[in-house]
């Protein structure tokens, strides 16, 4: 979704509180559809859920000018609906990752999630240029139309699993299936909600993504305001320099993903330590760089440097907690990310509300310094907690170990074996218990 500050220049004299309410309203109920998005992806596939949720958001984007003229409350309602619908998108992507990507290639692939950063990097300067030549409404018409074109391409090219792809080679199909191995079940299993609820690795992913989300949402939504109000830049310059950090974020994500997969492939570090190394960059180092931004003052060169570096290193998140979700349970990756997103999207509206309160009728360097220091604290503390307690090994409950007594587990295993035998009539068992094909 596109965020453009609507002020007196557009005929909307909305103060800081109202503007931040509009920006933050996208996240008010964004968390509500996180778990449903994961569940729906398991049932209907990522192609449908991810594609249609983003397409719906584009249609609502086209309606933003009409909503704005109807009043800021109508605009807020539009933003709330956008956030609610697109909340299904991110968890659904983890289902696709679990179906397609071998374990030692996940870090690089998950960097593709940050195509959203490329979108931000393009959209900010694009909006700046549009506003120089066209009415502000054109921003939403152009971006909504581009999003609709994306949906058409997505629908034509994407398939939910390798076995569904009509043009995949037998060699590649076999490689993917062999790489995924027994960790990915052939049939859907009951979701082990109780095991997920008491899993320390899940909580560590939540902590890392929550802190990283606070930093990202703050820098992403507030950077244009900071540059235009504090540094006095015009909207075109603010747009260009607000977009560049997100391009750097994607490039860093891709580079770090290749490096992380190299470490895993050559057994230089364990999977857990690779994920921790990523969080050292995405949270701890980003937090330190945001401190630099807080103390850059009116030095625009220093502010740009710290913003670019701070946003850029957050790209390592794709090799850290985002990949961590698929590591610990590929069978339930979309549901897990839904659970994680239920909590980790709250910084989107909490940080926007906090910035609005801190800077209301008080747009000063000191107030913005406080905004950035709070952000750095969230990043560093969450990163340190993850470094101490995170784990990226496959969890027992991924393979169908459900809640209950040992006798229940054994009974469940026996039933599965019986079902397996009944469902494979073309096989008989010899005295060693090995399967032989029945002669026809």
Backbone angles phi, psi at 101, to 5 degrees: -105, 125
Is 235 a domain residue? yes
369: containing domain: 8-183+195-394
pLDDT for res 137? 92
41 contacts 161 by C-beta, under 8 angstroms:
no
Percent of all residues in the chain with a pLDDT value above 90, rounded to a whole number: 43
Which segment of 91-100, 306-315, 426-435 scores lowest on mean pLDDT?
426-435
At 24 the pLDDT is 79
Q: Give me the residue label for tokens 């709070």.
A: 374
In a domain, 411, yes or no: no
User: Chain-centre distance of CA 181, in angstroms?
Assistant: 26
Least confident of 4-8, 50-54, 233-237: 4-8
- Grouping H, G, I as helix, E, B as strand and the rest as coil, residue 428 is strand
Encode pLDDT of 188-245 as tens digits.
788 899 999 999 999 999 999 999 999 988 887 777 777 777 777 766 666 667 678 8
Domain CATH for 57: 1.20.1250.20
pLDDT of residue 180: 80
- Any domain includes 319: yes
Is the pLDDT assigned to residue 273 strictly greater than 60?
Answer: yes
∠ CA 195-333-336 to the nearest 5 degrees? 50
Flag whether 157 is in a domain: yes
Q: Is 437 helix (H, G, I), strand (E, B) or coil?
A: strand
| 427, β-bridge pairs | 437
Across the chain, mean pLDDT equals: 83
pTM of the entire structure?
0.74
54: pLDDT strictly greater than 60 = yes
Average pLDDT over residues 24-52: 90
pLDDT digit string (tens) for 380-428?
999 999 999 999 999 999 886 554 444 444 444 444 444 344 444 444 3
Q: Which residue has the higher pLDDT, 42 or 361?
A: 42
Q: Is residue 404 part of a domain?
A: no
Smallest Cα–Cα separation from 280: which of 200, 388, 394? 388
Assigned domain for 215 exists: yes
Are the C-beta atoms of 45 and 158 separated by less than 8 Å? no
Domain count, the chain: 1
pLDDT value for 412: 44
Domain-embedded: residue 416 = no
Is 402 domain-assigned? no
């Amino acid at each position: 979704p596109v965020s453009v500050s609507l002020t007196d220049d557009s005929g909307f004299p909305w103060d800081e509180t109202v503007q931040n309410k509009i920006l933050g309203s996208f996240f008010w109920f964004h968390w509500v559809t996180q778990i449903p998005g994961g569940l729906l992806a398991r049932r209907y596939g990522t192609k449908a859920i991810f594609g249609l949720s983003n397409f719906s958001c584009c249609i609502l984007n086209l309606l933003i000018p009409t909503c704005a003229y109807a009043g800021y409350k109508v605009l807020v309602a539009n933003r709330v609906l956008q956030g609610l619908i697109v909340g299904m998108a991110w968890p659904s992507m983890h289902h696709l990752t679990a179906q397609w990507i071998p374990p030692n290639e996940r870090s690089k692939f998950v960097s593709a999630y940050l195509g959203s950063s490329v979108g931000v990097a393009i959209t900010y300067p694009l909006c700046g240029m549009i506003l120089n030549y066209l009415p502000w409404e054109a921003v939403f018409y152009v971006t909504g139309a581009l999003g609709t074109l994306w949906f058409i391409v997505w629908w034509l090219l994407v398939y939910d699993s390798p076995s569904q792809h009509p043009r995949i080679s037998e060699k590649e199909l076999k490689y993917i299936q062999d790489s995924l191995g027994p960790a990915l079940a052939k049939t859907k299993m009951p979701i082990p909600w109780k095991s997920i609820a008491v899993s320390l690795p899940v909580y560590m992913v939540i902590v890392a993504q929550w802190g990283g989300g606070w930093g990202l949402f703050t820098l992403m939504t507030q950077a244009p305001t900071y540059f235009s109000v504090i540094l006095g830049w015009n909207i075109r310059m603010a747009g260009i320099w607000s977009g560049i950090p997100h391009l750097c974020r994607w490039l860093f994500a891709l580079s770090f993903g290749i490096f992380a997969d190299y470490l895993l492939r050559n057994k230089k570090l364990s999977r857990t330590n690779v994920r921790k190394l990523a969080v050292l960059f995405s949270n701890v180092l980003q937090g330190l760089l945001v401190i630099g931004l807080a103390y850059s003052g009116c030095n625009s060169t220093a502010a740009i440097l710290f913003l670019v570096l701070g946003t850029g290193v957050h790209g390592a998140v794709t090799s850290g907690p985002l990949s961590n979700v698929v590591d610990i349970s590929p069978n339930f990756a979309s549901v897990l990310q839904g659970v994680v997103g239920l909590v980790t999207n709250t910084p989107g509206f909490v940080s926007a509300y906090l910035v609005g309160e801190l800077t209301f009728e008080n747009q000063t360097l000191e107030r913005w310094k406080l905004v950035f220091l709070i952000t750095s604290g969230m990043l560093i503390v969450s990163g340190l907690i993850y470094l101490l307690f995170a784990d990226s090994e496959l969890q027992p409950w991924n393979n169908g170990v459900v809640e209950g007594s040992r006798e229940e587990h054994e009974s469940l295993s026996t039933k599965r074996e019986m079902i397996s035998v009944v469902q494979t009539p073309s096989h008989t068992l010899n005295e060693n218990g090995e399967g032989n094909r029945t002669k026809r």
